[in-house]
C-alpha cells in the first residue's frame, strides 16, 4: 500500500489535511468520500526505505503496538466503540510515524471493514499472528482478550531486546577502544619507537620483535584484511538471498556459535511455543497454529524443522512425538507436551514450557553480560601490557644507560 498526503474539504467547508494508506488514488478518493470528505489534492508521501525495509525501527513498532493495545483494551472495556477508540489513539500522537496507519484503520472501520481485514492491509506493522487472533476475537466480539495477550508478549520481547542491547553495549565500547588502540599503536607509536631502537644498534627482545612484526603486518595488510572481511560478509549476505540451501547452512552454523547460538535458539523456540499456545487458546485449528507460529522464527534451519511438525501430525504421529523428531526441544519440554496431550491440558503445559524458556533466556543474557565484558577487558589489558613490556621497558632501560654513559 502507498502512503498519500491529502487535502480535502469537509461538509461544513473546512479544509482538512492528513496522511492515509491506499492501494491507488482511486481507492483513496473512494475512502475519503465514504467518511464525508471531498478530496482537493493528494500526492505520494511514502516513507523512505533501505533494502525494502522502512526506516522506522522495530523498537518503535513494538512500542507503538504496546501503547495501541493499552489504549484499545481500556477503552473497549469502558464500552467505547472501536472506531472512537482508534480515533483517540490517532489523536494521542499525530506526529508518530504510525499515525497514518492508525488513521487508515479508523477510516476502514468507519467504512464497515472488519478490524482484522483493516490490519491485514498493513503487513509491515501487523503480522499474521496478530491478524488471526483478531479474526477469532471478531467471532466472540471481545477484542480485549487478544489485545491483552498480544500486549504481554510484546512487552516481554521489548524487555529481552533491551537486555540484549545492555549486554552488547559494553563489549562494543571495548571493541571500539581496542580498534583505536591498534590504530594508534600501528600508525603513531610504533614507527618512531622502532627508529629509536634501531639507532641504538641493539638486538630487540622476542616480545619487541613480535610486536614490531605485528605492527608492520597491520600497516601493510590491515586495509586488505578489512576489505576482505567486508567482501566476505557481502558475499554471505548475497548468497543467502540467492541460495536457500546456503542460507539454511549459515543459519544452522549460527546456532553453534558459543553464547550467541544457544541464546538465539531459545529465543526462537520461545517465540514458536508462545505463538502456538496463543493461537491454540483461541481455538484456531491446530495445524494452522503450527504454520502461523513458525512465521516469527527468522532462522531458516529452525523454521524448516518446525514446519515439519504439522506434516508429521497429519500422518497420525502424536504431537509429543512430532516435537521429539525435530531434535530441537529438551526432554523437559517433551514430557510437558506429552503430559498435556494425554490429559487434555496442552495449553497449561505449553505455558510452563514458555515460563521455563523465559528463565533460561534471562540466565543466558546474564551469563553473556558477565563473561564477554571481562574477557574483552582482559584482551585490552593484555595488549597494553604487551606494549609496555615490548617497547617502554626497553626504552626506559636504554635511556638509563645513556644517562650513565
Kindly list the domain boundaries of the chain, sorted by start residue: 2-46, 58-126, 144-405
pLDDT-derived band at 51 (thresholds 50, 70, 90) equals very low
Positive or negative: CA dihedral 301, 303, 304, 310: positive
Pick the residue with more confidence: 397 or 361? 361
Q: If we measure between CA atoms, which residue out of 249, 317, 343, 198 comes closest to residue 335? A: 343
pLDDT of residue 326: 92
16 beta partners? 8
d(CA 221, CA 213): 12
41 beta partners? 7
pLDDT of residue 3: 67
Assess whether pLDDT exceeds 70 at residue 404.
no
pLDDT-derived band at 50 (thresholds 50, 70, 90) equals very low
pLDDT of residue 12: 80
**Starting from the edge strand earliest in sequence, which strands make up the sheet with 38-44, in order?**
15-22, 2-9, 38-44
pLDDT-derived band at 52 (thresholds 50, 70, 90) equals very low
Q: If we measure between CA atoms, which residue out of 216, 217, 180, 206 comes closest to residue 389? A: 206
pLDDT of residue 55: 38
Rounded to 5°, the CA angle 353-355-359 comes to 115
Instruction: HSE, CB side, 13 Å, CA atoms: give it for residue 60.
Output: 10
Mean pLDDT of 102-108: 85
pLDDT of residue 201: 66
Mean pLDDT of 380-394: 76
Task: Give the lowest-confidence range in 160-169, 234-243, 390-399.
Answer: 390-399
d(CA 37, CA 103): 14
pLDDT by residue (tens digit) across 278-327?
Answer: 888 877 888 888 888 888 788 999 999 999 999 999 999 999 999 999 99
From residue 207, alpha-carbon distances to 7, 386, 392, 395 in Å are: 73, 8, 12, 13
pLDDT of residue 163: 76
pLDDT of residue 53: 43
Q: Is 231 left (phi over 0), alpha (psi -120 to 50) or beta?
A: alpha
Assess whether pLDDT exceeds 70 at residue 176.
yes
From residue 23, alpha-carbon distances to 5, 20, 60, 261 in Å are: 13, 10, 24, 41
pLDDT of residue 266: 92
Pick the residue with more confidence: 3 or 303? 303
pLDDT of residue 49: 42
d(CA 349, CA 379): 45
pLDDT of residue 18: 72
Q: pLDDT over 90 for what percent of the chain?
A: 15
Termini Cα distance of the chain:
83
Pairing of β 38-44 and β 15-22: unpaired
pLDDT-derived band at 56 (thresholds 50, 70, 90) equals very low
Enter the pTM of the model: 0.67
Mean pLDDT of 171-175: 78
d(CA 147, CA 67): 11
Mean pLDDT of 34-46: 71
pLDDT by residue (tens digit) across 179-215?
Answer: 787 777 777 777 777 776 677 666 667 777 777 777 7
CB atoms within 10 A of CB 243: 12
Task: Give the lowest-confidence range in 315-329, 334-348, 390-404.
Answer: 390-404
Pick the residue with more confidence: 23 or 405? 23
Mean pLDDT highest for which of 14-23, 134-143, 318-327? 318-327
pLDDT of residue 136: 72
* Residue-averaged pLDDT of the chain: 81
Mean pLDDT of 248-254: 91
From residue 283, alpha-carbon distances to 43, 132, 268 in Å are: 43, 11, 23
Phi/psi at 145 (5° precision): -65, -50
d(CA 28, CA 127): 24
169 beta partners? none
Amino acid at each position: 500500500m502507498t502512503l498519500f498526503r491529502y487535502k480535502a474539504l469537509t461538509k461544513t467547508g473546512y479544509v482538512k489535511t492528513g496522511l492515509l494508506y491506499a492501494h491507488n488514488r482511486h481507492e483513496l478518493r473512494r475512502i475519503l468520500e465514504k467518511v464525508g470528505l471531498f478530496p482537493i489534492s493528494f500526492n505520494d508521501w511514502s516513507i523512505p526505505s533501505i533494502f525494502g525495509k522502512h526506516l522506522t525501527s522495530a523498537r518503535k513498532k513494538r512500542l507503538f503496538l504496546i501503547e495501541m493495545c493499552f489504549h484499545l483494551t481500556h477503552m473497549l472495556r469502558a464500552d467505547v466503540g472501536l472506531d472512537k477508540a482508534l480515533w483517540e489513539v490517532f489523536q494521542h500522537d499525530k506526529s508518530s510515524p504510525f499515525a497514518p496507519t492508525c488513521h487508515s484503520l479508523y477510516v476502514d472501520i468507519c467504512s464497515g471493514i472488519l478490524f482484522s481485514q483493516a490490519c491485514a492491509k498493513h503487513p509491515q506493522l501487523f503480522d499474521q499472528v496478530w491478524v488471526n487472533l483478531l479474526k477469532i476475537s471478531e467471532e466472540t466480539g471481545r477484542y480485549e482478550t487478544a489485545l491483552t495477550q498480544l500486549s504481554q508478549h510484546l512487552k516481554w520481547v521489548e524487555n529481552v531486546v533491551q537486555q540484549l542491547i545492555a549486554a552488547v553495549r559494553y563489549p562494543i565500547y571495548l571493541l571500539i577502544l581496542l580498534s583505536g588502540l591498534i590504530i594508534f599503536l600501528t600508525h603513531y607509536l610504533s614507527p618512531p619507537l622502532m627508529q629509536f631502537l634501531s639507532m641504538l644498534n641493539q638486538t630487540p627482545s622476542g616480545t619487541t620483535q613480535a610486536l614490531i612484526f605485528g605492527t608492520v603486518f597491520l600497516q601493510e595488510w590491515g586495509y586488505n584484511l578489512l576489505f576482505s572481511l567486508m567482501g566476505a560478509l557481502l558475499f554471505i549476505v548475497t548468497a543467502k538471498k540467492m541460495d536457500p540451501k546456503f542460507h539454511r547452512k549459515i543459519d544452522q552454523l549460527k546456532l553453534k556459535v558459543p553464547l550467541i547460538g544457544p541464546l538465539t535458539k531459545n529465543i526462537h523456540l520461545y517465540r514458536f511455543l508462545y505463538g502456538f499456545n496463543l493461537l491454540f487458546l483461541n481455538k484456531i485449528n491446530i495445524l494452522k497454529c503450527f504454520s502461523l507460529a513458525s512465521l516469527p522464527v527468522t532462522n531458516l534451519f529452525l523454521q524448516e524443522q518446525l514446519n515439519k511438525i504439522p506434516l508429521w501430525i497429519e500422518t497420525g504421529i502424536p504431537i509429543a512425538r512430532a516435537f521429539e523428531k525435530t531434535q530441537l526441544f529438551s526432554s523437559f519440554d517433551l514430557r510437558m507436551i506429552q503430559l498435556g496431550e494425554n490429559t487434555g491440558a496442552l495449553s497449561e503445559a505449553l505455558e510452563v514450557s514458555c515460563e521455563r524458556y523465559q528463565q533460561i533466556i534471562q540466565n543466558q543474557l546474564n551469563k553473556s553480560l558477565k563473561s564477554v565484558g571481562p574477557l574483552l577487558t582482559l584482551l585490552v589489558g593484555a595488549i597494553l601490557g604487551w606494549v609496555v613490556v615490548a617497547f617502554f621497558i626497553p626504552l626506559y632501560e636504554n635511556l638509563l644507560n645513556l644517562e650513565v654513559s
